Chains A and B, each alone.
Chain A
């Protein structure tokens, strides 16, 4: 567990997603812990651009060789961009979960309230240690 990477510049959900605010938009991905647990990611599917979500809504799925996992949006809003590179190369999520492996961008509808419900890096580290 100790070699799991957690970045200080973003917030985390209990479903092992990260969010990062960038120029009024929210970028969402899954954490290093999540990609490491899933191993060999074979397929990523995110709901279409234009989909409106509330925080904690299901909005996609990640397939590994062993199982299918749902993606939940930690933040409410409208999906404005989906990382289409993952269609042909889902393994990018394994290789670079906090960078090139980002999954979608949202235009948030209730950012301050939603982000208050998430963990900072230290709290997320404690959370995964407790699992």
Chain B
């Protein structure tokens, strides 16, 4: 095994109970039992994920807000204490350094949660810009364990172990709560399309004691969750769940050459902001002049076959784009994909073709999520 791969606090538990594989420089569980079973546990009940491989920075100081507005595209001034937002961090050409969740946890204190694969890049980016502001940037990735609890029964599980009422907390909020006696930030966010939370278990240093504490909390979630049908879930179902919900993943739908407008995540981008963030002018041009080079679409296979990353997308035999993420939807039992195509080349409901290793197969352009939102997802009918 590669010596340079990093491990989370929960590595020993994963190794004992799951299939551990290399992912973005980390040794992470791809599954514990089977990906589809874990996927459906989250759609129907509740699943828990170790997401401690993600990077967590604390940014604090009197100029924290202006520093963050310089580097991120959502409106930072809209964040009250205990609020959070999905946002992006751009390069000067309007391409995406990373997408992230930003929480305001104090008057002048924020938590920046970013992709594992981009942790070192974002750390360098923050360190490069921070000397110009009265801010302090602290990498807390090794001192905070991060666990996602997702699914229609996630809040019932959390309420059972919380020291106060948590069910009224709004989407994207973050509150200090004690869960089963552990000090946590409880964030009403997730990456599955389902209701749920992402928990930051504070004061879990990367020591034997810290690992023991993190593992005890994880096991407590599993124990308390039995009555709700909880399952531990690996990165395989994390990916299939986010794909079914139509969420972007860095390195697939997002990269340094793609703007948030092209990625169709306009809710991450605001224009009435002061100061203007890095990349502002390009993104504004993309929005106003429709000067985009490509646009993201969703597709569901009509014919048999599973679309995969890099497969060409054809319209009447002519190449108009390519798949960036694809796989089987466990809910639909059909191939689904996210893809980029030429702007204005197709509309929802159009039939296109996917070149599956030389086999030309029909697919329909669809909006996401790919599941029926009345039946699945956070806004399902009760």
Tell me the nearest residue of chain A to B326, going by C-beta: A68
Tell me, in angstroms, the Cα distance from A43 to B333 when the chains sit together: 10
Answer yes or no: B304 CB below 8 A from chain A CBs.
Answer: yes
User: Could you mark each residue 47-61 of chain A with 1 if its beta carbon is under 8 Å from any beta carbon of chain B, else 0?
Assistant: 000000000001001
B303 to chain A, nearest CB (A): 11
The reply on A114 being an interface residue by CB < 8 A is no
Size class of the A contact interface (CB-based, 8 Å): 10 to 19
With A65-B240, A68-B308 in contact, is A42–B328 under 8 Å at CB? Answer: yes
Interface string of B30-60 (1 = CB under 8 A from A): 1100111000000000000000000000000
Contact B305 A45 (CB under 8 A): yes
Whole-angstrom distance between the Cβ of A93 and the nearest chain B Cβ: 14
Residues from chain A with Cβ under 8 Å of B236 in the complex: 65-66
Q: Mark A63-88, 1 if CB is under 8 A from B, else 0.
A: 10111101000000000000000010
Complexed CA–CA distance, A61 and B31 (Å): 23
Q: How far is the CB of A34 from chain B (nearest CB, A)?
A: 16
**Is B304 touching A66 in the complex (CB atoms < 8 A)?**
no
Separation of A60 and B357 alpha carbons in the complex (Å): 10
Is the CB of A39 closer than 8 A to any CB of chain B? Answer: yes
Asked whether A63 lies within 8 Å of B306 as measured between CB atoms, the reply is yes
In whole angstroms, what is the CA distance A45 to B34 when docked? Answer: 22
With an 8 A cutoff between CB atoms, is B327 at the interface? yes
Q: Is B304 touching A40 in the complex (CB atoms < 8 A)?
A: no
Known: A45-B304, A66-B236, A70-B357. A40 touches B34 (CB 8 A): yes
Smallest distance from the beta carbon of B306 to chain A beta carbons, Å? Answer: 4
In the complex, what distance in Å separates the CA atom of A19 from the CA atom of B356?
26
Proximity string of chain B (340-382) to chain A, C-beta cutoff 8 Å, 1 when within and 0 when not: 0000000000000000110100000000000000000000000
Shortest C-beta distance, A56 to chain B (Å), equals 16
Overall SS of chain A's interface: strand
Residue of B305, B328, B356, B359 touching A65 (CB-CB under 8 A): B328
B21 — nearest CB in chain A belongs to which residue?
A: A66
Q: Are B306 and A66 within 8 A (Cβ)?
A: no
What residue of chain A has the Cβ atom nearest to residue B237's Cβ? A65
Which positions 104-127 of chain A face chain B at CB distance < 8 Å? Answer: none
- Whether B327 and A65, one on each chain, are in contact in the complex, defined by CB atoms closer than 8 angstroms, is yes
A40-B306 contact given A65-B236, A65-B240, A65-B328, CB 8 Å threshold: no
Among B36, B240, B305, contact of A43 (Cβ-Cβ < 8 Å):
B305
B residues in contact with A40, CB < 8 Å: 34-36
Is B357 within 8 A of A65, CB to CB?
no
Report the separation of the CA atoms of residues A8 and B357 in the bound assembly, to the nearest whole angstrom: 34
Per the bound structure, the CA–CA distance linking A38 and B216 in Å amounts to: 32
User: Nearest CB to that of B327 among chain A residues?
Assistant: A65
Given contacts A40-B36, A45-B305, contact A63 B328 (CB under 8 A): yes
Chain A residues, Cβ within 8 Å of B240: 65
Complex Cα gap A87–B357 (Å) = 18
What residues of A have a CB within 8 angstroms of the CB of B328 in the complex?
42-43, 63, 65
Chain B residues packing against A (C-beta within 8 Å): 19, 30-31, 34-36, 236, 240, 304-306, 308, 327-328, 356-357, 359
Provide a sorted-by-A list of 9 A–B residue pairs whose CB atoms are within 8 angstroms: A40-B36, A43-B306, A61-B357, A65-B34, A65-B36, A66-B30, A66-B35, A66-B236, A67-B308
**Contact surface of A with B, Cβ cutoff 8 Å:** 39-40, 42-43, 45, 58, 61, 63, 65-68, 70, 87
Q: Beyond the given A39-B31, A65-B35, A70-B357, could you list 10 further A-B residue pairs with CB under 8 A, ordered by the A residue number? A: A39-B35, A43-B304, A45-B359, A61-B356, A61-B357, A63-B328, A65-B34, A65-B36, A68-B357, A87-B304
Closest 9 CB pairs of A and B: A65-B35, A63-B306, A42-B328, A68-B308, A40-B34, A43-B306, A40-B35, A65-B236, A66-B236
